[in-house]
Amino acid sequence: MLSHRDIFEELEAEVEQNIVNRKHDEIERKNHLIANDNLIVDCLSKEVFYIATNSELNVSRFTEMHDAHTIVQARCLELEA
């Protein structure tokens, strides 16, 4: 038969284990939050890179179109002459 002391020690051990479990869960939650933040930062940096790259491509295409237009205009003037 368990004595009051034994029961008290068992309860004490359970309480301590509960505290350890709660701290472990809290650490896990913080790790998940950090991982989530890192994913958000990664996605944002990729989005910024995509926007910057896309802008460069658009400027490049516009420049090429402008150059082609200038060449066509010059050719038209030659033909008119």
What is the per-residue pLDDT across 7-44, written as a single tens digit (0 to 9) for each?
889 999 999 999 999 999 999 999 999 999 999 999 88
- The pTM (predicted TM-score) of the whole model is 0.52
Residue 59 pLDDT more than 90?
no
In whole angstroms, what is the distance from residue 69 CA to residue 63 CA?
Answer: 10
Mean pLDDT of the chain: 89
- Separation between Cα atoms, residue 74 and residue 17, nearest integer Å: 85
